[in-house]
Amino acid sequence: MQKITMHTSKTYDILIEDGLLASAAELIAEILPPPRKCCLVCDKTVYSLYGKPDLPLFASLVGAGYETNICTFDPGEGSKTPHAAEEICGIMAAKGFTRDDFIIALGGGVSGDLAGFAASVYMRGIPFVQIPTSLLAMADSSVGGKTGVNTDAGKNMIGTFWQPSLVLIDPATLDTLEHDELLNGLAEIIKAGFVADGTIFDCIGEDISEAIVKAIKVKKAIVEADERESGSRRLLNFGHTIGHAIEKYSGYTVPHGFAVMNGMYLTALAADDLEWSLTPVSGLIRDVIDAFAYPKYGDYKAAQLAEAAAGDKKRVSDNIVIVYPDQPGRCKTKELPVSELEDFIARGVRLWK
**Each residue's pLDDT tens digit, 281-334:** 999 999 999 999 999 886 788 999 999 888 766 677 789 999 999 999 999 999
Q: In the predicted model, is pLDDT for residue 251 greater than 80? A: yes
User: Which residue from 62, 177, 55, 202 is spatially nearest to 109, judged by alpha carbons?
Assistant: 177
- Sign of dihedral through CA atoms 105, 178, 44, 85? positive
Q: In the predicted model, is pLDDT for residue 8 greater than 70? A: yes
Do the beta carbons of residue 57 and residue 25 sit within 8 Å? yes
Q: In the predicted model, is pLDDT for residue 3 greater than 70? A: yes
pLDDT of residue 323: 97
pLDDT in tens, 13-72: 999 999 999 999 999 999 999 999 999 999 999 999 999 999 999 999 999 999 999 999
pLDDT of residue 149: 97
Task: Return d(Cα 242, Cα 254) in angstroms, integer.
Answer: 13
- For range 151-165, the mean pLDDT: 93
- For range 266-294, the mean pLDDT: 95
Average pLDDT, the chain: 95
Question: Using omega within 30 degrees of 0 as the cis cutoff, is the peptide bond preceding 164 cis?
Answer: no
Q: In the predicted model, is pLDDT for residue 87 greater than 90? A: yes
Q: Distance from first CA to last CA of the chain, Å, rounded?
A: 46
Range in 108-112, 226-230, 264-268 with the lowest mean pLDDT: 226-230
- For range 226-247, the mean pLDDT: 94
What pTM does this model have?
Answer: 0.94
pLDDT of residue 90: 98
Range in 38-42, 111-115, 204-208, 255-259 with the lowest mean pLDDT: 204-208
pLDDT in tens, 140-153: 999 999 999 999 88
CB crowding 259-278: b at 16 or more within 10 Å, else e: bbbbbbbbbbbbbbbeebbe
Is residue 149 classed as helix, strand or coil in its secondary structure?
A: strand
Task: Return d(Cα 353, Cα 351) in angstroms, integer.
Answer: 5
Instruction: Set out the domains of the chain in order of their start, with CATH numbers.
Output: 2-176 (3.40.50.1970), 184-352 (1.20.1090.10)
Do the beta carbons of residue 38 and residue 67 sit within 8 Å? yes
Q: In the predicted model, is pLDDT for residue 221 greater than 70? A: yes
Q: Radius of gyration (Cα) for the chain, nearest Å?
A: 20
Higher pLDDT, 353 or 307: 307
Q: In the predicted model, is pLDDT for residue 190 greater than 90? A: yes
pLDDT of residue 300: 81
Angle between helices 302-310 and 240-249 (to 10 degrees): 110
* CA distances for 71 relative to 43, 53, 94, 108, 300, angstroms: 8, 12, 13, 15, 37
pLDDT of residue 112: 98
* CA distances for 6 relative to 31, 95, 161, 164, angstroms: 15, 32, 14, 10
Higher pLDDT, 207 or 138: 138
pLDDT of residue 314: 65
pLDDT of residue 331: 96
pLDDT of residue 230: 87
- Sign of dihedral through CA atoms 161, 241, 258, 157? positive
Angle between helices 256-273 and 179-195 (to 10 degrees): 40
- For range 116-141, the mean pLDDT: 98
Do the beta carbons of residue 272 and residue 281 sit within 8 Å? yes
Q: Apex CA 212: angle with CA 204 and CA 30, to 5°?
A: 160
Do the beta carbons of residue 233 and residue 206 sit within 8 Å? no
Q: In the predicted model, is pLDDT for residue 205 greater than 90? A: no
